[in-house]
A = this chain, B = another copy of it.
Amino acid sequence: MNVTIKDVAKKAGVSPSTVSRVIADHPRISKETSRRVKEIMEELGYHPNLMAKSLVSRTTRTIAVILPKPAEELLLNFFFYELIRGVLAQLTRAGYDLLMAGGSNEQEELETVTRLVRGGRIDGLLLLYSRSSDPIIHFLRNEKVPFALIGRSLDYEDVPSVDNDNVQAAYDATNHLIAQGQKRIGFVTGPTKLAMTQDRMMGYSKALAEAGLPLKQSWVVEGEFLLESGYRAMASIMSQPEPPTALVVIDDVVAFGVLKGLAELGYRIPQDIAIVSFNNIALAELTMPPITSVDVGTYQLGYTASQMVLRMIQQVDITARQIIPHRLVVRESSLRTVSHV
C-alpha cells in the first residue's frame, strides 16, 4: 500500500490538514512545522495521490488532444507531429500532461470527448483540425470546457482558435508561380470539408483571377493528406490533353507523392512541372529537388493554441482568433531557370 497523507501526519505528530497545508505552502503554517513535515514527506517518499487531489479540486492538470478519425492515417502526416511538438513544449513548461485520445469514427470521437469531459478527466482540450458542422465543437461550447482549435471553425465565429491566413498563404504561393511565368496552374487539394482546404482553394483562385489566368476544374484534384493521394492524383491530372505546367499542393507529404508520381511518368521538376506546397516540414528541403513550401509556423501553431487553452483554464475569457504568420520558402521545385548541382 502506498504512503498517504495520514501516514505523514501521524509520523509528524500533526493532523492531515496541516500536512495538506504544508504541501500547498499555506501561510498559516509555521516555518518550523513546515520544515519538519517536509522532512518526513521526503523520508517516507510521500507523493500525493493525484486522483484524490483531482476529485476534490476538480482539476487534473491534463490537456487532451483529440486525434481525428483514423488516427493512424492522420499520424502519417508529419505536420501533426510538428504541431504536437509545439503543444508538448508549452504544456510541459506549464507543468501539464498531455493525454492523447481518439476514436475510429466521428461517433466514437464524440463519445471519447464526452467521457473525458463529463468524467472530469481533463481540464481542457485541443482540436487539431476543423471541419464543418462538427458535433464535438458544438458539445464543447455547451459544456463550457476550455478548448481551442487549430484552424478555424466553419460554424461559429467566436471559437478560440489559432490559425494561419490560409487564403493569403495560398494567394502568395500561387502568385509565386505566376511570377515565374506559369500560366497553367493546377491544385492538388485536401478534404474539402476542412476549413484549411477551403481557404487555400480560395487564395488560389483569387490569385488566378487577378492574373487573368484560367481555373480549369480538371486541374483541381481532391485527396487526403497522404503520400498516396499525391501519387495517385498525378496519373489522372497528367493524362488530360492539356495538363497543367505547375501545381499548388496542399501539403508537403502530398507533394512527396506528387514528386514520386511525376518522376514515374517521366516528368522533370521543375522544368516540366513546377511545384509549390504547404507546411514546410523538415524534409521538404531534402527531396530531389527540394520543395518550395509555405512555412506556416507549425510548431508555433501548437505552442500558441496550448497557451490559449491554458489561459482559458485560468479563467481568462478568450474568444479570439489568433493568426500565425506564414512565409514562403523558395526552393528549386518552383523555379523556372535552374542550374543543376
* A residues in contact (CB < 8 Å) with B: 2, 45-55, 60, 62, 67, 71-72, 75-76, 78, 81, 84-85, 88-89, 92, 97-104, 114-116, 118-121, 227, 256, 259-260, 263, 282-283, 286-288, 341
Contact = CB atoms under 8 A, between A and B. Distances in A.
13 contacts: A45-B118, A47-B118, A49-B119, A49-B120, A50-B120, A50-B121, A51-B51, A72-B88, A76-B282, A81-B81, A88-B102, A92-B103, A287-B288
Nearest to A341: B263
Given A78-B78, A97-B99, 14 more contacts: A49-B119, A49-B120, A50-B116, A50-B121, A53-B119, A62-B99, A71-B89, A72-B88, A75-B88, A76-B85, A98-B100, A98-B101, A227-B282, A287-B287
A52 B60 CA distance: 12
How many identical subunits does the complex contain? 2
A120 B283 contact: no
A256 B121 contact: no
Contacts of A46: 118
Given A2-B118, A67-B88, A256 B286 contact: yes
Contact of A49 (B2, B55, B88): B55
Nearest to A121: B50
Contact of A283 (B53, B104, B256): B256
Nearest to A227: B282
Contacts of A121: 50-51, 97
A75 B81 contact: yes
A92 B109 CA distance: 11
